[in-house]
Amino acid sequence: MDSKTCGICGRLDGKIYPVSEAVTGKNKPPFHPFCRCADVPYYPDTPTEGMKRAARDKDGNGIEVPADMTYEEWKKKYLGAAEQSDIMDIAKTAESATMGAVTMEEVPDVHSIGKIDKEIYRCVTPDIATDEVIITDTQIKHIQERHPNDYERFSTYFNRIVSEPDYIIRANRPNTALILKEIREADEVFKTVLRLITSKDNPEYKNSIITFMKIDEKEWNRLLRNKEILYKKE
């Protein structure tokens, strides 16, 4: 437990589920991309009185807390109002990131974008489980809020951007592609972040667009100059 624990995982802390009912992404970690959670065995007849569990205080220092302390109890004790507000922001970000952890059948607000050439994207990871790409209403809303009018004007190019990237640049997260694409008829260049699904993820998950934006030539050149280029279209 620490200040980086997201709301998705925090709400599940301390919950007990039968092994026979375990479903990855629902009651068994990982619950979302980049999830840090772990599950542990539970035996009803094992005494926990006096036992401790590892945690961190608001400054990130390692501490020990009672074994039966839940995340909500830890948050109230160790975080002030400002830090708890920050946790809510982190939770929203994590929930947005779970758009890579949804299926077409489970969530009605999932939209199919198209397919990628897995051979091209093996420069990011050799382990790519599917060629399908989706975007959710949650991420569409994120794009609309952060980059006004970009989605409305340019979303029709999503399939071309992910299927025919000009460049793939190393992102800061594993199994994630930072895509650069020039659309000449629009006279614009774009940056897109795509989360790739691997064999370690739920097999029902799809590759998903995390964010998208129009960028200027200066930003395009900065990215090519300062970031590691994994793929360049010939």
Q: Following DSSP, what letter does each residue of 159-196 receive, concatenated?
A: HHHHHS-SEEEE-SSTTEEEEEEEEGGGTEEEEEEEEP
Q: Under a CB-based contact definition with an 8 Å cutoff, are residues 1 and 56 in contact?
A: yes
Least confident among 10-14, 210-214, 217-221: 10-14
CB count in 10 Å sphere of residue 117:
12
Strands 207-215 and 132-136: parallel
| Average pLDDT of span 72-96 | 57
Q: DSSP label at 23?
A: -
Q: Give the 3-state secondary structure of 95-112.
A: HHHHHHHCCCCCCCCEEE
> Under 8 Å CB-to-CB from 4, ≥6 apart: which residues?
36, 90
In three-state secondary structure terms, 221 is: helix
For residue 212, is pLDDT > 80? yes
| Average pLDDT of span 213-226 | 94
In three-state secondary structure terms, 28 is: strand
Least confident among 46-50, 68-72, 91-95, 130-134: 91-95
Q: What is the pTM assigned to this prediction?
A: 0.57
Better-predicted residue by pLDDT, 97 or 171: 171
| Average pLDDT of span 77-96 | 51
Structure tokens at 50: 């006096």
Better-predicted residue by pLDDT, 149 or 77: 149
Better-predicted residue by pLDDT, 38 or 209: 209
Better-predicted residue by pLDDT, 212 or 203: 212
Better-predicted residue by pLDDT, 166 or 27: 166
| Average pLDDT of span 142-160 | 91
Least confident among 20-29, 62-71, 72-81, 152-161: 72-81
Residue 149, Ramachandran bin (φ over 0: left; ψ between -120 and 50: alpha; else beta): left
- What is the structure's pLDDT at 220? 95
| pLDDT category of residue 52 using cuts at 50, 70 and 90 | confident
- What is the structure's pLDDT at 44? 75
The span from the CA of 208 to the CA of 132, in Å, is 8
- What is the structure's pLDDT at 185? 87
For residue 172, is pLDDT > 80? yes
What's the mean pLDDT when you consider all of the chain?
Answer: 82
